[in-house]
Structure 1
Amino acid sequence: MGRPRTFDIDKALNVTADMFWRRGYDNTSIGDLTKAIGISAPSFYFAFGSKEAVFLRIVEVYLARQNEIVERALREPDARAVAASLLFGISDLLTSPDHAPGCLILNNALPICDDHPFRARWAEGRSAIRNELAERFRKDRESGLAFPEDWDPADTARLVVSLVWGLAVEIHSGASSHEIQRMISHFLGMWPED
């Protein structure tokens, strides 16, 4: 019979998430993780399977939080309100004191090489959000809701998603929550009234 686990799995996941957030996936070794958690390498592999498996587990939880923000935004009554809800919601997530500044995915996407499997996975995620926004913006324009006639829905969706990533970079670079809120408000102020 195996020995019982002698560490708190949720606490270990929080420590691991913080290391990936601050140092990045590629700059965090199994040795770093086991030392921070206070367990042996065999215990780590038994509990989590691999560094990649624990990282993807953490990313899955993070993406669920992001997806809640996207889904809530898409329920807003018009395109401008969708953009506002998405941008302010992501801003709140990225400036949360629960983790290091910025976006877990962005913090890990920039330093990895072009052929890294994570890069393609995250590009697909951004594309999915862009497509959802573009479809929503297209429907709003066709329905006569508040979407500027001379704005292209797909281009506007790409701009909003680019702003989300730009927020993450600014926050990671030290921008305060107040500065980010002002930036979002400035963008929304440029949204033409019908």
Structure 2
Amino acid sequence: METRPKGRGQLGRPRGFDAEEALERAMRVFWEQGYEGASLTDLTAAMGITRTSMYAAFGNKEDLFRKALERYAEGPASYVARALREPTARAVATAFLNGSVRATTQPDCPAGCLGVQASLAAGEAGRTTRDALVAWRNEGTEHLRLRLQRAVDEGDLPADADPGALARYLMTVANGIAVQASSGATRDDLQRVADMALGGWPAA
């Protein structure tokens, strides 16, 4: 009969918790409280694990936040990628702003946008995370710019349209929607804002 050496049994032992579920809960804490507002106690309590388990599975708080932001981009904020695949520039803008309204006013989620909420009131200790969020938002703006530049090239937007300015306009409106949502604005109110913002969209 084969005997297992002492200590070997723990090498393949499962963590004892659902890492995906724990990350989902951490994402919601960051979403609701921001990066600096979310303490390790808040995070581990929501995740249902100890600090030791958190460090082992996700790294430090900054590492955990980056993983939570990735999850947010692939989940609640996935409307951005879907909007970019729309066939016309106007459809892209409409899907982007409508998606922002829906994502920031979900009844079963924190109000607002994690990418905006987490960077508010960030002091020196949160500078790295704040910079990461700036880069994340700028990347989104650049994806919009490239898609709108394609629309100009294809004649879907006027030749004199400025893709960079239009992309920044959409991102600014979306960020404003997120801030208003976190302040209690209703979905209907914010949808009217989105509709008004699209009222002056340039025609081909």
Determine if the TM-score, normalized by the shorter chain, exceeds 0.5: yes
* Within-5 A mapping of 1:87-106: 87-106=97-116
The alignment's TM-score, normalised by the length of structure 2, stands at 0.81
Distance in 1 separating the partners of 2:135 and 2:99: 21
| 1:190 counterpart = 2:200 | yes
Alignment check: 8 A CA contact 2:34 2:120 kept: no
Q: Which of 164, 174, 178 is the equivalent residue of 2:184?
A: 174
5+ residue gaps, structure 2, are 1-6
Stretch of structure 1 that moved more, 95-104 or 118-127:
118-127
* Within-5 A mapping of 1:1-20: 1=7, 2=10, 5-20=15-30
Deviations 1:155-181 (A, max 9, x none): 111101111111110111111111111
Stretch of structure 1 that moved more, 173-182 or 31-40:
31-40
Q: 1:41 to 1:174 in 2, by over 3 A?
A: same
Match of 1:136 in 2: 147
Distance in 1 separating the partners of 2:95 and 2:78: 11
Match of 1:23 in 2: 33
Which amino acid in 2 is paired with 1:20?
Answer: F
Q: 1:19 to 1:135 in 2, by over 3 A?
A: closer
Percent identity (aligned): 37
Match of 1:85 in 2: 95
Distance in 1 separating the partners of 2:24 and 2:75: 15
Shift of 1:13: 2.9
The alignment's TM-score, normalised by the length of structure 1, stands at 0.84
Which amino acid in 2 is paired with 1:41?
Answer: R
Alignment check: 8 A CA contact 2:101 2:191 kept: yes
Shift of 1:37: 4.1
5+ residue gaps, structure 1, are none
Deviations 1:112-165 (A, max 9, x none): 1367112222222222222222232233223222x2455422111110111111
Match of 1:111 in 2: 121
Distance in 1 separating the partners of 2:15 and 2:146: 48
Distance in 2 separating the partners of 1:72 and 1:152: 22
| 1:33 counterpart = 2:13 | no
Which amino acid in 1 is paired with 2:55?
Answer: Y
Shift of 1:75: 2.0
Shift of 1:85: 0.8
Q: 1:117 to 1:163 in 2, by over 3 A?
A: same
Shift of 1:46: 2.8
Alignment check: 8 A CA contact 2:77 2:103 kept: no
User: CA-atom RMSD, angstroms?
Assistant: 2.5
Q: How many residues align?
A: 193
Which amino acid in 2 is paired with 1:72?
Answer: R
| 1:43 counterpart = 2:53 | yes
Match of 2:64 in 1: 54
Larger Rg: 2
Alignment check: 8 A CA contact 1:134 1:157 kept: yes
Alignment check: 8 A CA contact 1:73 1:81 kept: yes
Q: 1:41 to 1:143 in 2, by over 3 A?
A: closer
Match of 2:4 in 1: none
Q: 1:15 to 1:111 in 2, by over 3 A?
A: same
